[in-house]
């Protein structure tokens, strides 16, 4: 058996078509991860009748395994708005709904306050985000095909012809998809096992910590037997 010692690992994340169906990964699925740590332990129930250690005979067979993981990844710039960001699957697996994309569009005349007017049909729905001049706002209502109401006005109202930037919005849903996270040297050489983050009952909890440039996720789950 041969081993590889390297710090050139690359991390990839891809949604599964079905629970446990590990997807193929390409360079487009790479995420700028800093650290991925996993730990698996057998779950042992506390005994109330004994407190000493001399009668310990080992862990019982057939116990459930509890797996925890910690993934840290930077939220880098969204270089190609025509494609979903690679780390977007982490948000989708944690929230559930299919992401809603808004492609860049031009502002029309008449924008003021919380009303944003487009030069053409916008295709937005309540809850989606729009961005202008480095600021982000959320759509609260859609009066018609060219106007939306925002949760707060922009600092400067967009003038006719101004570019309203592209966004992608992730929303909660009742069912969660599953995602595979890979720790590889490159997509074609799988040197380590993948970590499956299940969207079914095998996944107990998930915590996300967001900063302007970094995403940190913690997860806990029970392995299926």
Q: Are 51 and 210 in contact (CB under 8 A)?
A: no
What pLDDT score does 124 carry? 93
pLDDT at 96: 87
**What pLDDT score was predicted for residue 117?**
94
Q: Which residues pair with 100 in a beta bridge?
A: 169
For residue 224, give both structure tokens: 């299926």
Identify the three-state secondary structure at position 160: coil
Q: Which residues have C-beta within 8 Å of that of residue 32, sequence separation ≥ 6?
A: 11, 73, 74, 76, 87
Segments making up each domain of the chain, as ranges: 10-42+64-97+174-222, 106-169
Distance CA 84, CA 195 (A): 21
CA 189/CA 200 separation, integer angstroms: 29
User: pLDDT value at position 186?
Assistant: 62
pLDDT in tens, the chain (225 residues): 555 566 667 888 888 888 878 888 888 888 888 888 888 887 776 666 666 666 666 666 777 777 777 888 877 778 888 888 888 888 888 888 999 999 889 999 999 889 999 999 999 999 999 999 989 999 999 999 999 999 999 999 999 999 999 999 998 888 888 888 888 776 555 444 445 444 443 445 555 555 544 445 555 444 433
- Helices within 73-146 (DSSP H only): 88-95
pTM of the model: 0.69
Q: What is residue 145's predicted lDDT score, i.e. its pLDDT?
A: 92
């Amino acid at each position: 058996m041969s081993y590889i010692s390297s710090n050139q690992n690359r991390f990839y994340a891809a949604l599964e078509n079905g629970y446990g169906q590990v997807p193929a990964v390409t360079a487009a699925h790479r995420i700028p991860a800093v650290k991925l740590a996993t730990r698996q332990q057998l779950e042992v129930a506390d005994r109330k009748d004994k407190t000493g250690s001399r009668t310990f005979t080992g862990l019982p067979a057939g116990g459930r395994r509890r797996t925890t993981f910690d993934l840290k990844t930077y939220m880098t710039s969204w270089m190609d708005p025509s494609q979903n960001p690679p780390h977007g699957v982490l948000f989708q697996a944690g929230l559930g709904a299919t992401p809603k994309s808004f492609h860049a569009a031009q502002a029309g005349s008449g924008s003021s306050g919380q009303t944003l007017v487009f030069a053409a049909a916008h295709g937005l729905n309540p809850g989606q985000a729009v961005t202008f001049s480095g600021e982000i706002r959320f759509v609260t209502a859609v009066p018609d095909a060219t106007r939306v109401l925002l949760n707060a006005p922009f600092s400067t109202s967009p003038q006719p012809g101004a570019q309203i930037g592209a966004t992608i919005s992730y929303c909660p849903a009742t069912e969660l998809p599953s995602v595979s996270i890979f720790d590889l040297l490159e997509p074609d050489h799988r040197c380590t096992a993948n970590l499956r983050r299940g969207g079914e009952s095998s996944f107990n909890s998930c915590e996300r910590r967001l900063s302007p440039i970094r995403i940190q996720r913690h997860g806990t789950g029970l392995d299926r037997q």
